[in-house]
Amino acid sequence: MMRILTALLVSLHPIRAEVLTAAHPSDELAVGKTVVWSPLFQATWDAMNAELGGKPLDVDPPNELMTRLDSFQWQPDKVMPEGAWKVWAGKATKGFLETVNREAAAITGEAQGPFRLLEEVPGGLACFGLLDREVEFQTAFFRSRTVPMRFGTKKTEVSYFGTNGRLSGGYGESVKVLAFRPVDGSHALEVSCKHGDDQVVFYRPPVVQDFSTACKWLRKWKKDYVANEELPGGWADRVLHEGDVVQVPYVSLDVTEDMAGRLQSRRSYGGEGDPWTIRRAEQVTRFELYEKGARVRVETSIEVDPFGGNSAPKPVPRKFIYDRPFFVFLWREGAEWPYFGAWIGDDSALKVFK
**CATH code for the domain of 320:** 2.30.39.10
**Do 325 and 196 belong together in one domain?**
yes
b/e 206-245 (16+ beta carbons within 10 angstroms → b): eeebbbbebbebbeebbeeeeeeeeeeeeeebbbbbbbbe
Residue at 350 is within a domain? no
Q: Do 242 and 332 share a structural domain?
A: yes
Whole-number Å distance between alpha carbons of 189 and 237: 12
Provide the number of structural domains found in the chain: 2
Do 262 and 235 share a structural domain? no
Q: 84 and 130 share a domain?
A: yes
Please give the residue range of the domain that contains residue 236. Answer: 137-250+315-344
Task: Say whether both 327 and 205 belong to one domain.
Answer: yes
126 and 47 both lie in a single domain: yes
CB 322 within 8 A of CB 248: yes
In a domain, 61, yes or no: yes
Name which of 136, 80, 129, 83 is nearest 109 in CA terms: 83
CB 23 within 8 A of CB 278: no
Rounded Cα distance between 104 and 40, Å, is: 14
Q: Is the domain of 21 the same as that of 120?
A: yes
Q: Please report whether residue 86 resides in a domain.
A: yes
Say yes or no: 291 and 172 in one domain: no
Q: Would you say the pTM of this structure is higher than 0.95? A: no
* Amino acid letter, residue 287: F
Residue 349 is assigned to a structural domain of this protein? no
Domain match, 168 and 207 both: yes
> CA 259, CA 263: separation in Å to the nearest integer?
7
Residue 312's pLDDT is 41
Kindly state whether residue 2 falls inside one of the protein's structural domains. no
Crossing angle (nearest 10°) for helices 40-51 and 64-71:
90
Residue 353 lies in a domain: no
Q: Contact, 59 vs 101, CB < 8 A?
A: no
Whether residues 79 and 201 fall in one domain: no
Q: Average pLDDT for consecutive 10-residue bins of the chain (354 residues)?
A: 35 61 96 95 98 96 97 97 97 96 97 93 94 97 95 92 95 94 94 94 96 97 80 84 96 96 95 93 98 98 85 70 92 93 93 84
Which CATH number does the domain housing residue 117 bear? Answer: 3.30.497
Residues listed for the chain: 354
Q: In what order do the strands lie in the sheet with 85-91?
A: 85-91, 125-136, 293-305, 277-290, 251-258
Whole-angstrom CA distances from 298 to 19, 71, 130, 301 are 14, 22, 6, 10
Strand partners, 128: 88, 301
Residue 167 DSSP class: G
218 plus 333 within the same structural domain: yes
d(C-alpha 289, C-alpha 202), whole Å: 11
Please report the pLDDT score of residue 208 as a whole number: 94
Number of other residues whose CB lies within 10 A of the CB of residue 99: 14
Adjacent-strand bridge partners of 160: 249
Please tell me whether residue 328 adopts helix, strand or coil conformation: strand
- Rounded to 5°, the CA angle 118-121-127 comes to 60
Cα 6 off chain centre by: 22
The answer to whether residues 112 and 152 belong to one domain is no
Residue 153: DSSP 8-state: T
